């Protein structure tokens, strides 16, 4: 176990200002003016500087980051941001992440906003701390604050460096007791403001460097513990028992069937069923041996092959036009040519490398939970709801763990562990199995994109429509903050609370008549569905951009324009255009109207290139894919992916390059191989053969990342935006090579061969 | 019937009692010995997360019955090297900042280390081939290849 020193935070309660009685959750919910009291820790106030950082007697700085690092390097990047504004060495900064007793709820890994929102908040806190400390030094050393410089936590007089005092001497081990202006929000929208000025980027010394990640060395030496490595005295190992047919619930359970396994027990509460044993392998044996009579269930799902037809004909539950200008119908009527295209994106599992795993120790006086969920504060809220105990009695300790890529099965496994520990009065470790992780994690669900464009007699595009239709992205919430959002909660009777959410990525293409919107259809099974939707990494990226950016290419071809020239003509924002221009330049883009006509297209291997662009928040990206299409086998082989990436200020260039490269590999998998399959009853892709993921043979061997330098612009996010461009860039490259438009993902050899044969 | 066995792991001998001789080695290492390096990823021999060396050969411990080990010597990632005496691949892995979450790391590093032992100077295609049956959901494939090639230069 790591060094979880809670005593460091107890000073907050030792001053009168922080002695605040417990607010019950209801009072909290009803309060008209939000209380800064952290619902997960009565000692932490979101409007106090002390909630965000502290400096100890040796000058070490603790930063309290109310979110997590999923392995993308936020621990280092955010420490750099704080060290920069505080003027302390990076090595003196320790990041305390996601611990619900030590941090306030700043969201979680979500929307790639770790640097842009949460890091920026903490920079402001650091700047205020620096200002307070310099003012204090000025008082003590009798000079004006402006006469001081700070270096490595030492404040000295500019003209007389011998007159000096350290941060540790001023504040070491004490609290700041200073206010920040908190915006009254928890989670992703949480932010603070202060009057302390931030540095000019030209003065940065630590931001812009590439220090290495501390977690990586720990992982390399086998020292990094994950939740599955927590072993508590008396801990039991659990396995969840799931039905073979979705919707079936246990009617009776044969206790005799596991009697031969030492210490194995059944936990059966309403529709929730698990086996536990003191030894882990015995829990697996019990899972396999247990005889259960399940209720009849006939989900009658449209299968994965039918799901797009289902989306086309199902009743639309909500239609929202997100952006509109001009009058689309008029534009189409004026057009001399109207072209249209449809694009289908499949269902994907989060398919994490490690199936869900968590340890819970629920006692009469509170619950301690070890988990790597992306949203630990919400996990605490959800467990309080599920177990009906006060929020501040739940302590969630976040740990590094398997990549989750959105709301994977970690949150559900965490809820399972809490229920079991409460029922058994002992610490419980839950480990989901591989088939369970692929079968029962919340899914990134299928979409169909309907696109059309009107072209006038001059060849100008005057009308454009994109409607993306699919399942809401929130059959269950994007975090496990309520009992109803977890499988355990739903199996114990909490009523599901599905929401209609969807979103269309913004693009600065400008057409005289334009309509962009979405339509949702109802969930496939209301309760405890293996196909329930939630956020999967870049939830609105690949499913929609595959359609919108492939269709842009279709229009370009229809008006006889090079795909890059076409984008440069219709995009209006300079940073969008720059990303497209630079990606093309770095790829050595040869201008032509696709498909290429300069080679013998009947030869077996044909090369092509395609581009796709997007904007997400203030991140501007273009990706060029170079592919080889093997006509005989139908294999689409990406040979080189080139990315131009403008994120504004870059905190850690090396980390950023890695983050982008890995996304492009991951995005290739979600383009060429991944697809969840299911029949009328249940998910059928339950292992790594039936749910294929990218192996080395299919990884683009060359990836070029070009970082566009814009230090004057605020830092935006980078953790998931580039991956969404891979499907369209590759689809456009296949069209360039062959003249064939691929209209559905994944580009399996069978599908491509069939498409080429048409 | 409970059986007594001795496992030699990272140079240390450990006595364990085993109820089920079919129990995979992974559970003996994690549950009986309390070692954390090999991880459970699939239990099906498909991903590599549970990889250890058995007499120097990368082996998926989730799919090998503990009763089949006999006197073989087991090495986990932890036994490959440490901060004082790192394996060249560990140094290279840090230099290249390979992993994202690192859940897959046992498979990649143990396969990579075995490759370097077999072939201290592999070509890029040989490295890719050695890694062809491993999964990494975070997309660290190319970085892992770079790390092996960097380590090869240093061996
Ligand atoms: S856990 Fe052993 S190969 Fe996946
Ligand atoms: S680094 Fe996450 S699975 Fe490989």
Over residues A691-740, the pLDDT tens digits come to 999 999 999 999 999 999 999 999 999 999 999 999 999 999 999 999 99
Test mutation, A75, A216, A217, A222, chain B, max B CBs within 10 A: A222
Q: Which residues 211-250 on chain A approach chain B with CB closer than 8 angstroms? A: 212-213, 215-217, 219-226, 228-229, 231, 237
- In three-state secondary structure terms, B12 is strand
Of ligand 2's listed atoms, the one at least distance from the Cα of A353 is 3
pLDDT score, position A230: 98
State the pLDDT at residue A113: 83
What is the model's pLDDT at position A33? Answer: 77
To the nearest 10°, the Cα dihedral for A494, A498, A499, A504? 140
What's the whole-number mean pLDDT along residues A41-69?
A: 96
pLDDT, position A71: 94
Band of residue A545 on the pLDDT scale cut at 50, 70, 90: very high
Atom of ligand 2 minimally distant from the CA of B138 = 2
What residue segments make up the domains of chain A, in order of their start? 7-224, 228-297+351-440, 559-757
**pLDDT given for residue A15 in this prediction:** 33
Omega of the bond leading into B42 within 30 degrees of 0 (cis):
no
- Per-residue confidence band for A18, with pLDDT thresholds at 50, 70 and 90: very low
Alpha-carbon span A118 to B18, nearest angstrom: 49
Q: Is A664 on the interface with B (CB under 8 A)?
A: yes
pLDDT of residue A9: 52
**Which CATH code is given to the segment(s) A559-757?**
3.30.365.10
pLDDT at A599: 81
Tell me whether the CATH fold assigned to A7-224 matches the one assigned to A559-757.
yes
R_g of chain A, CA atoms, integer Å: 27
Q: Whole-angstrom Cα distance, residue B113 to residue B87?
A: 8
- State the residue for tokens 């032509």: A592
Q: Phi/psi class of residue A73: alpha, beta or left (left: φ > 0; alpha: ψ in -120 to 50)?
A: left
pLDDT of residue B155: 64
Contact criterion met (CB below 8 Å) for A720 and B139: no
Architecture of the domain delimited by A228-297+351-440: 2-Layer Sandwich (3.30)
pLDDT in tens, B18-32: 999 999 999 999 999
pLDDT of the residue at A193: 97
Per-residue confidence (pLDDT) for residue A32, from 0 to 100: 59
User: How are beta strands B3-9 and B73-75 bridged, if at all?
Assistant: parallel
Query: Measured between CB atoms, does A116 come within 8 Å of chain B?
Result: no
Give the model confidence (pLDDT) of A383-409 as tens digits: 999 999 999 999 999 999 999 999 999
Interface contact flag, A696 B128, Cβ < 8 Å: yes
Q: Which CATH class is domain A7-224?
A: alpha beta
Q: Using DSSP, how many helices (H) and how many strands (E) does chain B show?
A: 6, 5
* Over residues A155-174, mean pLDDT: 97
Q: Rounded distance, CA A704 to CA A726, Å?
A: 13
- Whether the pLDDT of residue B105 is over 90: the answer is yes
Mean pLDDT of chain A: 94
What is the overall mean pLDDT for chain B?
A: 97
Is residue B57 pLDDT above 60, yes or no? yes
Whether A601 shows a pLDDT value over 80: the answer reads no
Confidence bin at A10 (pLDDT 50/70/90): very low
For chain B, domains (ranges, CATH) are 3-79 (3.10.20.30), 81-154 (1.10.150.120)
B107 touches chain A (CB under 8 A): no
Q: What is the DSSP annotation of A171-215?
A: HTTS----B-EE-S--STT--EE-SSPPPPGGG-SSTT--PPPHH
Confidence (pLDDT) at A238: 99
- What residue of A is the nearest CA neighbor of B86? A221
Q: How far is CA B87 from CA A465, A650, A671, B38, B151, in A?
A: 57, 32, 36, 18, 9
Ligand nearest to the CA of B29: 1
Q: Is the CB–ligand 1 distance for residue B39 below 6 Å?
A: no
pLDDT (average), residues A12-40: 52
Model pLDDT, residue A251:
98
The fraction of chain A above a pLDDT of 70, given in percent, is: 96
* Res. A582: pLDDT tops 50: yes
Ligand nearest A666 Cα, by number? 2
pTM: 0.95
Choose the mutation target among A109, A219, A223 for the interface with B, i.e. most B CBs under 10 Å. A219
How far apart CA A410 and CA A419 sit, in angstroms, is 14
Q: For A272-286, what is the mean pLDDT? A: 98
Task: Name which of A565-569, B1-5, B43-47 the model is least confident about.
Answer: B1-5
Q: Which residues contact A176 (CB under 8 A, 6 or more apart)?
A: A48, A49, A50, A54, A129, A132
pLDDT digits (tens, 9 = 90+) for A139-159: 999 999 999 999 999 999 999
What token pair was written down for B86?
């790192």
* C-alpha–C-alpha distance, residues A507 and A516, integer Å: 10
The 3-state DSSP composition of chain A as helix, strand, coil percent (nearest 5) reads: 30, 25, 45
């Amino acid at each position: 176990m790591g060094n979880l020193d809670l005593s460091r935070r107890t000073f907050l309660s030792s001053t009168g200002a922080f002695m605040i009685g417990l607010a019950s959750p209801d009072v909290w919910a009803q309060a008209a003016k939000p209380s800064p009291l952290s619902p997960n820790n009565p000692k932490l106030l979101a409007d106090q500087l002390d909630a965000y950082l502290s400096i100890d007697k040796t000058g070490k700085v603790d930063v309290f980051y109310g979110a997590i690092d999923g392995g993308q390097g936020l621990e280092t990047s955010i420490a750099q941001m704080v060290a920069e504004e505080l003027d302390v060495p990076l090595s003196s900064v320790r990041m305390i992440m996601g611990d619900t007793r030590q941090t306030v709820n700043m969201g979680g890994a979500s929307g790639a906003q770790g640097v842009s929102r949460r890091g920026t908040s903490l920079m402001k806190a650091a700047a205020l701390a620096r200002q307070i400390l310099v003012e204090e030094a000025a008082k003590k050393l009798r000079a004006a604050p402006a006469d001081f410089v700070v270096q490595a936590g030492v404040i000295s007089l500019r003209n007389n460096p011998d007159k000096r005092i350290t941060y540790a001497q001023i504040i070491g081990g004490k609290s700041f007791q200073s206010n920040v202006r908190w915006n009254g929000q928890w989670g992703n929208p949480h932010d603070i403001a202060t009057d302390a000025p931030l540095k000019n980027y030209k003065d940065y010394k630590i931001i812009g460097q590439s220090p290495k990640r501390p977690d990586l060395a720990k992982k390399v030496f086998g020292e990094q513990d994950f939740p599955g490595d927590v072993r508590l005295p008396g801990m039991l190992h659990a396995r969840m028992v799931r039905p073979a047919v979705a919707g079936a619930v246990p009617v009776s359970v044969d206790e005799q069937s596991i009697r031969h396994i030492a210490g194995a027990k059944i936990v059966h509460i309403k529709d929730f069923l698990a086996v536990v044993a003191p030894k882990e392998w015995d829990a697996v044996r019990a899972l396999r041996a247990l005889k259960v009579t399940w209720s009849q269930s006939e989900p009658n799902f449209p299968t994965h092959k039918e799901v797009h037809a289902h989306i086309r004909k199902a009743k639309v539950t909500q239609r929202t036009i997100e952006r509109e200008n001009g009058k689309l119908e008029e534009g189409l009527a004026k057009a001399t040519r109207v072209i249209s295209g449809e694009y289908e994106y499949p269902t994907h599992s989060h398919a994490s490398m490690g199936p869900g795993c968590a340890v819970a120790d629920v006692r009469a006086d509170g619950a301690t939970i070890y988990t790597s969920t992306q949203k630990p504060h919400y996990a605490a809220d959800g467990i309080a709801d599920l177990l009906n105990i006060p929020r501040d009695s739940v302590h969630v300790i976040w740990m590094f763990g398997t990549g989750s890529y959105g709301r994977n099965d970690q949150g559900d496994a965490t809820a399972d562990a809490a229920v079991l520990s409460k029922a058994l009065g002992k610490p419980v470790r839950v480990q989901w199995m591989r088939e369970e992780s692929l079968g029962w994690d919340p899914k990134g669900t299928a979409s169909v994109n309907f696109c059309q464009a009107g072209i006038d007699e001059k060849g100008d595009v005057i009308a454009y429509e994109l409607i993306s239709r699919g399942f809401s992205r929130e059959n269950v919430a994007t975090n496990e903050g309520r009992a109803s959002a977890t499988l355990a909660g739903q199996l114990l009777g909490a009523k599901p609370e599905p929401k209609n959410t969807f979103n269309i990525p913004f693009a600065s293409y400008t057409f005289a008549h334009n309509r962009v919107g979405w339509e949702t259809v109802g969930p496939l099974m209301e309760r405890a569905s293996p196909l329930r939707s939630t956020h999967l990494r870049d939830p609105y990226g690949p499913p929609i951009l595959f359609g919108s950016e492939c269709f842009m290419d279709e229009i370009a071809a229809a008006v006889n324009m090079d795909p890059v020239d076409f984008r440069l003509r219709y995009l209006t924002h300079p940073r969008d255009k720059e990303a497209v221009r630079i990606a093309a330049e770095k790829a050595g883009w040869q201008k032509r109207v696709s498909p290429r006509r300069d080679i013998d297209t009947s030869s077996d291997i044909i090369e092509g290139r395609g581009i796709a662009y997007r904007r997400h928040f203030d991140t501007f990206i273009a990706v060029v894919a170079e592919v080889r299409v093997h006509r005989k086998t139908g294999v689409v082989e990406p040979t080189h992916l080139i990315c131009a990436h403008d994120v504004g200020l870059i905190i850690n260039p090396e980390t950023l390059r890695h983050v982008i490269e890995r996304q492009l590999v991951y995005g290739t998998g979600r383009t060429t191989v991944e697809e969840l399959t299911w029949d009328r009853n249940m998910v059928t892709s339950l292992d790594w053969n039936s749910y294929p993921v990218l192996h080395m043979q299919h990884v683009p061997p060359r990836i070029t990342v070009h970082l566009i330098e814009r230090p004057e612009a605020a830092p935006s996010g980078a953790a998931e935006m580039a991956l969404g461009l891979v499907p369209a860039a590759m689809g456009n490259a296949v069209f360039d090579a062959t003249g064939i438009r691929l209209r559905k993902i994944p580009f399996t050899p069978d599908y491509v061969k069939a498409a080429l044969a048409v | 019937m409970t059986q007594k066995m001795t496992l030699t792991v990272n140079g240390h001998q450990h006595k364990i009692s085993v109820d089920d001789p079919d129990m995979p080695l992974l559970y003996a290492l994690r549950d009986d010995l309390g070692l954390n390096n090999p991880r459970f990823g699939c239990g099906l021999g498909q991903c590599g997360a549970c990889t250890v060396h058995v007499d120097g050969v990368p082996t998926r411990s989730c799919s090998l019955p503990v009763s089949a080990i006999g006197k073989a010597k087991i090495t986990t990632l932890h036994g490959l090297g440490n901060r004082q005496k790192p394996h060249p691949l560990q140094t290279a892995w840090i230099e290249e900042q390979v992993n994202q979450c690192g859940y897959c790391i046992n498979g990649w590093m143990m396969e990579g280390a075995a490759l370097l032992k077999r072939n201290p100077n592999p070509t890029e295609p040989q490295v890719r081939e050695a890694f062809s049956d491993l999964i990494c959901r975070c997309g660290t494939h190319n970085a892992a290849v770079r790390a092996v090639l960097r380590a090869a230069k240093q061996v």
